[in-house]
Amino acid sequence: MDLTFSDAEAQFRDELRAWFENNDPGPMPEGEDASYAWRRDWQRRLADDRYAAVHWPEQYGGRGATITQSAIFFEELGRARRPLPANVLGILLAGPTIMTFGTDEQKDRYLAPILTAEEIWCQGFSEPDAGSDLAALKTRAVRDPAHPDEWVVTGQKVWTSGAQHSKWCMLVARTDFDAPKHKGLTYFLMDMEQPGVQVRPLVQITGEPEFNELFIEGARIPDENVLGGVGNGWKVALTTLMNERSGLAFFLQVRLRQLLDELIEEAAERGLLDDPVVADKLGYLHMKAEILRLTAYRGLTTIEKYGTPGPEGSLTKWMWSETNQELAQFAADLIGPDALTNGNRWAYELLRSRGNTIEGGTTEILKNIVAERVLGLPRLKGAA
Amino acid sequence: MNFDFSEDQHEIKRTARDLLASRSSFAKVREAAESHTYDPALWSELVELGWPGIAIAEEHGGQGLGAVELAILCEELGYALAASPFLSTVLAAEAIGAGGSVEQQRQWLPGLASGEITGALGAVGGLVGDAAEAAVIVLIGDDGVARVVARADADVTEVDAIDPTRRAARVYAPPTHGEALGGDDPQAGIDRATIAVAAELVGVSQRALEMTLAYVKDRKQFDTPVGAYQAVSHKCAQMLKDTEGARSATYYGAWAADAGADGPGLPEPASLAKAAASDGARDTAANAIQAHGGIGFTWEADVHWLYKRAQVDAALLGTSGVHRKRLAALVSARLAPAVA
Ligand SMILES: Cc1cc2nc3c(=O)[nH]c(=O)nc-3n(C[C@H](O)[C@H](O)[C@H](O)COP(=O)(O)OP(=O)(O)OC[C@H]3O[C@@H](n4cnc5c(N)ncnc54)[C@H](O)[C@@H]3O)c2cc1C
């Protein structure tokens, strides 16, 4: 056991620190569009120096970074208080899924514009009646009898983050209506800029329109935009979901720690650390943040050594979302009414953190996964 | 970075697990608990294997391995719930080995390493494991100063604590008796000992989880294994999360102890490990009782031994509340040295 980073890893960290030091996008402008444009510019800067997706292979514009180096990248990004790149779903989800299942033509066509933020991606999985039970989705894709190499899509997606900025959508739709629900699905790369695709913003609990409803009525997708084969959509979608649950942990972990450290400093300045209840709770939150960080590190070793994630992998998203919520709630308690006025950062955290245990799989679904796949417990009939 | 045991360390773990499975079954644990004695055969075997001296320097007759190897043994002894003076002895050895003066080390470590004598570590007036038969007691005073006291100089009263698999006592010694841990960093010895207790708690937690999984896969109600119900399966998932979280913190603590000056220091990792492992094991053992239903509440079933060990270990060398407050103080001092 050796928790120091290797020379190569430490050097990579230093290199990143220097780069972030020299590359500062400045303060985030106000407003959805302006802040999005700012994150797009930021991603271009990252891409220019091949830092947009360090874990991608070099041939696609990454650095072929190891899983540990990738974790270091996200830690340093957070540490430098730099934003996530605008095309985060493209980089973390679409890109790796295309690399795994895509044809050579698809890799050539889609990967480069993901890195440069030229083409933004969104994830069209959830539907009004298919959230946790994703395989129950109803959006239909049927071949056009007049153009047998084209699919016509009809249906509705919901909670689609970033759809308003996106050129492409990772779309899962039903193509076989007689097959069992997991078998009849196909994964498409859908062009969002066409008639038949309508994006309607959904305002969130925070007042921001981060996600959207997607109404699809007769949109067309050519055969060459099927990813991973017709009827293979469930398997391809699982790859996307697995990437979703791993990539961000280190960035989020650092962000959580920064918030917590700021709260501890604030408590110290207000002389509240002598209050045993306050000290106890801050120590508790620090403990939970450390457990998250260390468990995520253990997960890195497991993957590097054994190729597959261990139980740590399923636990970190759960740990992070729970701790982030507890932190926000305690900050609100500690700071009092000031934390409840709009515009206050803790007020924002208090509201936004409620989504943490829903997005990317709810805590209940994560517990099901841990119970069934890690602990080998029997599953109830019909339940996912 | 490599957050996994080395091959040798894995081997120690496997060997310990196998040995204890054959020597310290729950039937044996029960026998010892109900008669309020230890299993002398087990203790002599551990001594023959050199386990008590695993982390004691070779010059004092130990094996000269580190806190990680010690944590591995403590975890396995906790997993087996072994009834032996092992933990108490290594706690005293850690305190003296890392925090004692050269004379204190020379005087006590060889005996502790060879198992010729046993030791104890605890706070004045608190529950101190195995003090009655210990030759040497490291006693932490109300002022926080730890003194090394020979058994003959201490006033030891055995108490009937809820965990009968470990023999507890209350210890007093007049300030004139014994002498303060005389090394450069007395607290380092206590912190290392704290990590060893955390490791035992991780073992207790792991055992509680495994026993519960076996039970809920088998036990049926409404024609369904109860482990299929989410109220139960989600509890099991929580038990895994609590156990693995405590394990991450504890292994980190043990590594930090071995890393010395190259590591993150000892106070924070030690308190982190103890707070996480105390909470983790207590909650996991409590959840184990709940998931076992009525049988879990009986003397007959074995889960209560785990719950009791978890409770008593959690109180040893500082409850989780004590360590959480220490963490908050350490972190705030690190963040803002200017703030008094
Ligand atoms: C901020 C945010 C961003 C998102 N971005 C996207 C995106 O970009 N693309 C996308 O496709 N989706 C996105 N989602 C959707 C998200 O993946 C779903 O909301 C989530 O999977 C839950 O589905 P649901 O909302 O239909 O809730 P439901 O599945 O209806 O769940 C309702 C409640 O029932 C519980 N529940 C459901 N099934 C079970 C079960 N089997 N066992 C136990 N409990 C159960 C859930 O845990 C939850 O508490 C986003 C969500 C949020 C909050």
How close A2 comes to chain B (CA, Å)? 5
Confidence class of residue B340 from pLDDT cuts 50, 70 and 90? very low
**pLDDT above 70 (res A286):** yes
Residue B292 has pLDDT above 90, yes or no: yes
Query: How does residue B3 score in pLDDT terms, banded at 50, 70 and 90?
Result: very high
A244 is catalytic: yes
pLDDT digits (tens, 9 = 90+) for A137-189: 999 999 999 999 999 999 999 999 999 999 999 999 999 999 999 999 999 99
For residue B44, the one-letter residue type is S
Residue-wise pLDDT for B11-53, tens only, equals 999 999 999 999 999 999 999 999 988 999 999 999 999 999 9
Per-residue pLDDT averaged across A126-140, rounded? 96
Neighbouring residues of B248: CB distance < 8 A, sequence distance ≥ 6: A291, A294, A295, A297, A298, A312, B276
- Select the residue of B68, B228, B329 nearest A1 (Cβ to Cβ): B68
Query: pLDDT of B149-165, one tens digit each?
Result: 999 999 999 999 999 99
CA B203, CA B280: separation in Å to the nearest integer?
11
Atom 25 of ligand 1, residue of closest alpha carbon: A131
Residue in B244, B324, B325 closest to A312 by CB: B244
On the question of pLDDT at B170 being above 50, the answer is: yes
Q: How far apart are CA A368 and CA B233, in angstroms?
A: 7
Mean pLDDT of B103-112: 98
From residue A285, give the alpha-carbon distance in Å to each of A31, A148, A174, A313, B53.
32, 58, 44, 21, 36
pLDDT over 90 (residue A288): yes
Across the A/B interface, how many CB contacts are shorter than 8 Å?
182
Q: What is the ipTM of this complex?
A: 0.94
Q: What is the mean pLDDT of residues A259-276?
A: 94
3-state secondary structure of B54: coil
Q: Do the Cβ atoms of A312 and B248 come within 8 Å?
A: yes
B72-91 average pLDDT score: 98
Taking the C-alpha atoms of residue B293 and residue B300, their distance in angstroms, rounded to an integer, is 13
Burial A21-56 (b: 16+ CB within 10 A, else e): eeeeeeeeeeeeeeebebbbebbbbbbeeebbbbbb
pTM of the full structure:
0.95
Residue B241: list chain A partners with CB under 8 A. 315, 318-319, 370
pLDDT digits (tens, 9 = 90+) for A181-219: 999 999 999 999 999 999 999 999 999 888 999 999 999
Provide mean pLDDT across the span B66-80.
98
Q: What is the mean pLDDT of chain A?
A: 94
Strands B128-129 and B168-172: antiparallel
Q: What is the distance between the alpha carbons of residues A11 and A30, in angstroms, rounded to a whole number? A: 36
Do the chains contact at B329 and A273, CB–CB below 8 Å? yes
Amino acid at A165: H
| pLDDT beyond 70 at A338 | yes
In this prediction, residue A32 carries a pLDDT of: 86
Question: Span B265-293, mean pLDDT?
Answer: 98
Rounded average pLDDT over A232-237: 97
State the Cα torsion B3-B6-B9-B15 to the nearest 10°: 110
What's the confidence (pLDDT) of residue B10? 98
Ligand 1 centroid from CA A161, angstroms: 13
pLDDT at residue A243 in the model: 77
Is residue A21 predicted with pLDDT exceeding 70?
Answer: yes
Percent residues over pLDDT 70 in chain A:
98
Q: Is the pLDDT of residue B332 over 90?
A: yes
Chain A (308-347) residues lying within 8 Å, Cβ to Cβ, of chain B: 311-312, 315, 318-319
Position B158 scores a pLDDT of 95
Q: What mean pLDDT is predicted for residues B55-60?
A: 98
Task: Spell out which residues line ligand 1, taking CB within 6 angstroms.
Answer: A 122-126, 131-132, 159-161, 211, 355, 358-359, 361-362, 364-365, 368, 383-384; B 230
Task: For B114-154, write each residue's pLDDT tens digit.
Answer: 999 999 999 999 999 999 999 999 999 999 999 999 999 99
For A354-383, what is the mean pLDDT? 91
Using CA atoms, how far apart are residues B245 and A319, in angstroms rounded to an integer? 9
- Span A83-94, pLDDT tens digits: 999 999 999 999
For residues B303 and B285, the answer to whether their CB atoms sit within 8 Å is yes
Enter the DSSP assignment of A371.
Answer: I
Question: Which residue in A119, A127, A210, A244 is the catalytic one?
Answer: A244
Q: Across residues B205-209, what is the average pLDDT?
A: 98
Instruction: Quote the pLDDT of residue A47.
Output: 97
Residue appearing with tokens 């099991």: B236
Measured between alpha carbons, how far is A351 from B329 in angstroms, rounded to an integer?
29
Residue predicted with more confidence, B210 or A304: B210
What pLDDT score was predicted for residue A118?
A: 98
Residue B63, min C-alpha distance to chain A (Å): 18
CA B45 to chain CA mean position, Å: 20
Min Cα–Cα distance to chain A from B60, Å:
25
Task: Tell me the chain B residues in contact with residue A368 when contact means C-beta distances shorter than 8 Å.
Answer: 230, 233-234, 237
For residue A212, report the phi and psi dihedrals to the nearest 5 degrees.
-145, 165
Residues 6+ apart with CB under 8 A from A304: A66, A67, A68
The pLDDT of residue A311 = 82
Q: Does the pLDDT value for residue A45 go beyond 80?
A: yes
Q: Which pLDDT band, with edges at 50, 70 and 90, does A244 fall under?
A: low
CA distances in angstroms from B93 to A296, B51, B115, B274, listed in the order given:
33, 12, 11, 18
CA distance A199 to A193: 10
Predicted local confidence at residue A383, as pLDDT: 58
